[in-house]
Amino acid sequence: MNLPHRCVSKLALGFALGTAGCHSASINATLINATGTPISLIQVDYPSASFGVQTLQPGEHFAYRFAVQGSGPIKLDYTDAAHHDHKIIGPTLREGNDGALRIVLADDGVHWDPASFPSH
């Protein structure tokens, strides 16, 4: 089959646009238990919603993807193996923030990577 050059160009443009896709801003959060004991009742609150996990064993990870609507600090609540409750305030998130966020629960506290996100 011999297609006119204009048809081939339109097909190529359609394919290129279709495979480029759209990217919505979102945060790919990963909770990591870097302590030597189980952590339980983990709740992460972020502007407009929250997520959580019942228990993370030592070395275990939990991943969650979310879009930020509005702005405000991310908050982490959890209970350690000695049954002490912890409430930690992390970086401020703003609508449009995009990227990875590692929340590492360690013996010396909670580490946020990155520690902040750019404001738009």
Q: Which of 16-20, 25-29, 75-79, 86-90 has the lowest mean pLDDT?
A: 16-20
Tell me, letter by letter, the H, E, C secondary structure of the chain.
Answer: CCCCHHHHHHHHHHHHHHHHCCCCCCEEEEEEECCCCCEEEEEEEECCEEEEEEEECCCCEEEEEECCCCEEEEEEEEECCCCCEEEEEEEEEECCCCEEEEEEEECCEEEEECCCCCCC
Looking up residue 80, the CATH number of its domain turns out to be 2.60.40.2890
Residue 10 predicted with pLDDT over 60 = no
For residue 120, being part of any structural domain is answered with no
Q: What is the pLDDT of residues 72-87, one digit of tens each?
A: 999 999 999 999 999 9
Q: What is the mean pLDDT of residues 88-117?
A: 94
For residue 118, being part of any structural domain is answered with no
What confidence category does residue 23 fall into, taking pLDDT thresholds of 50, 70 and 90? confident
Domain extent at residue 79? 25-113
What confidence category does residue 118 fall into, taking pLDDT thresholds of 50, 70 and 90? confident
For residue 15, being part of any structural domain is answered with no
Query: So what's the pLDDT on residue 119?
Result: 76
